[in-house]
Structure 1
Amino acid sequence: MHIHVLGAAAGGGFPQWNCNCHNCDGLRKGTIKATKRTQSSICVSSDGINWVLFNASPDLLQQIQEFKPLQPGRAVRDSGIVGIVLIDAQIDHTTGLLMLREGQVKREIYCTDMVYQDLTTGNPLLNILGHYCGINHHEVATDGATSFEVAGAANLRFTAVALKSAAPPYSPHRNDPHPGDTIGVLIEEISTGKKCWYSPGLGEIEPHLPALMIQADCIMVDGTFWTNTEMIDMGLMTKTARSIGHNPQSGEGGMIEKLNEFDASRKVLIHINNTNPILREDSAERAELTKHGIEVAYDGMDIIL
């Protein structure tokens, strides 16, 4: 199984367009050791030809241009993307759908009913696509037992489970969370049995998750914040990381502590906020991750299982 990281940053990318925090300002000026990142998305393939896209970030066109297998050029109009799995309905994971409007082939969208509702009401992206290329919606079950396959993506199987989360700000049920607002997905290559757990939005390791995560050879999870009060301490927000659905890496019950409980050969953080010190390659925080065998995703990262 080939997993390619198209984008590794949280919403806004790195550097963020309007941010002058130590990280963003330092990257622009070349005073820190760090690499720019676009907004988070991965794609997965078993044969290297047909790819399943996970989320469609606002940076999708750039990401496609920088990964040639997604544009194989077999016909006048062509794409290596055979299906799109949406983890949630957040802006930074769905806006790129509008960039896929050209052509006559309907886009195959795999998402929960809650995500579909949000993307046809509060932020009707899927309705808009219906006026261009059109879509086929495939509802994703979130019981952690019902698997699905994506037509054209041979040898891959997907199992989704609901995660504790909040719906996007524009959602009609923003203050009334529902199962399926956000999911985690276990991706399996059928012929080899290799598996990857993918959850870029993960507020906590809920009791029903270890049974799926323990199966994974690669665990790719939420790397948004280093501390629970990161944004508060910088004067950028009044809410904690956990209150907006992200388990920080450090501290009691943090992602480092939780990932130490699993024996996966690869442990990777993705969806990294521009303020997070782990973006600085020579930071003490990055060294702490390395000590625990945890990697930091970057644009263009390839993982072969």
Structure 2
Amino acid sequence: MLIRVLGSGAGGGFPQWNCNCDNCRRLRRGEINARPRTQSSIAVSEDGDNWVLFNASPDIRFQLEANPPLQPKRGVRDTGIRAIVLIDAQIDHTTGLLILRESTSPLEIYCADPVHRDLTSGFPVLTMLGHYCGVHRHPLPIDGSAFQIPGFDDLRFYSHALVSKAPPYSPHRNDPHPGDNVGVIVEQISSGRKLYYAPGLGEIEPHVFEAMQAADCVLVDGTFWTDDEMKKVGSAKKAREIGHLPQSGPGGMIEVLNRLPRETRRILIHINNTNPILDEDSPERRQLTEAGIEVAYDTMEIRV
């Protein structure tokens, strides 16, 4: 199984267009050993030609140009993307669907019922696409059930609900529904090897840790280093309050990942522009390296 990291940053990317935090300022000045990042998305393939896209960020056009395996090869109008799985209905994971409106066939979109409702009400992007390429929507299970995607005979997918909130625009923002955010297991049937993907994790529920333990590679939430990290840029919101488990501190992501089998490949994705791990020379990044935890970057290729 082949995974391409199309975007590894959180909403806004890195540097964020209106941010003058320490990381963004130093990156613009060339004073930091760090890579720019677009907003988070991955693609998974069994053969290197046909791909399942996970989330469609506002940066999708640039991401596809930077990843030749997903570019057209078979005709004047073509793409390597055969299906799209939406983890949630957040703006930074769905706005890119509008860029894909020029598709020559309806988009094959897999999403949970709450996500579908948000994308046909508060942010009616799926309704809008009905006037362009069209959409074939497929319900995404939220109880851990398996499903397959036509054209990917050697891949089996499982999805389960995560503790989360709907996007700020959602009609049920303050009334969380199971399926507002999901984690996904991708299994290669022929080898039995598994990827666990969850870019937004606010809590490690028992079924989540069970999925992480069973995976050969986990690609999970790396948004913030500390719970109060956003205070440095004037926000009163804490990481856990907006659905992201910080890496450091008691019960943090480092502690969770250290409990996984030694052979599990552990990679953080969805890195916020304020996170000190973006600085590859920082003590925080060194702490991750010593723990055997990787940090995803744009165009990263992962084989599982």
The TM-score range, normalised by the shorter chain, is over 0.9
Question: 1:89 is aligned with what amino acid?
Answer: A
1:211 aligns with 2:215: no
The answer for the alignment partner of 2:8 in structure 1 is 8
TM-score (norm 1): 0.98
Instruction: After TM superposition, list the pairs within 5 Å mapping 1:1-305 onto structure 2.
Output: 1-144=1-144, 146-232=145-231, 234-263=232-261, 264-305=263-304
CA distance in 2, matches of 1:166, 1:88: 9
CA distance in 2, matches of 1:164, 1:287: 30
Q: CA deviation at 1:77?
A: 1.1
CA distance in 2, matches of 1:239, 1:301: 31
Q: Is the 1:82–1:150 contact (alpha carbons within 8 Å) kept by the matching residues of 2? A: no
TM-score (norm 2): 0.98
Q: CA deviation at 1:254?
A: 0.2
Deviations 1:249-303 (A, max 9, x none): 0000000001111115310000000000000000000000011110000001111
Q: Is the 2:6–2:299 contact (alpha carbons within 8 Å) kept by the matching residues of 1? A: yes
Q: Is the 1:3–1:303 contact (alpha carbons within 8 Å) kept by the matching residues of 2? A: yes
CA distance in 1, matches of 2:44, 2:269: 15
What SS does the corresponding residue of 2:176 show, helix, strand or coil? Answer: coil
Aligned identity (percent) is 63
What SS does the corresponding residue of 1:262 show, helix, strand or coil? Answer: coil
Q: State which drifts further: 150-159 or 75-84.
A: 150-159
* Structure 1 segments of 4+ aligned residues over 6 angstroms from their partners: none
Change (3 A) 1:283 1:68: same
Q: CA deviation at 1:104?
A: 3.0
Deviations 1:209-257 (A, max 9, x none): 122211100011000000000002x043111100000000000000000
Deviations 1:106-146 (A, max 9, x none): 000000000000000000000011110000000011111x1
Deviations 1:7-55 (A, max 9, x none): 0000000000000111000000001110101000000001111100000
Q: Is the 2:185–2:195 contact (alpha carbons within 8 Å) kept by the matching residues of 1? A: yes
What SS does the corresponding residue of 1:5 show, helix, strand or coil? Answer: strand
CA distance in 2, matches of 1:228, 1:255: 11
What SS does the corresponding residue of 1:214 show, helix, strand or coil? Answer: helix
CA distance in 1, matches of 2:119, 2:105: 20
What SS does the corresponding residue of 2:214 show, helix, strand or coil? Answer: coil
CA distance in 1, matches of 2:121, 2:156: 30
**Structure 2 unmatched ranges of 5 or more:** none
What SS does the corresponding residue of 2:34 show, helix, strand or coil? Answer: coil
Q: Is the 1:13–1:273 contact (alpha carbons within 8 Å) kept by the matching residues of 2? A: yes
Alignment length, in residue pairs? 303
Q: CA deviation at 1:68?
A: 1.1
CA distance in 1, matches of 2:117, 2:244: 23
Question: 2:104 is aligned with what amino acid?
Answer: Q
Q: CA deviation at 1:151?
A: 1.4
Question: 1:299 is aligned with what amino acid?
Answer: D
What SS does the corresponding residue of 2:61 show, helix, strand or coil? Answer: helix
Q: CA deviation at 1:71?
A: 1.4
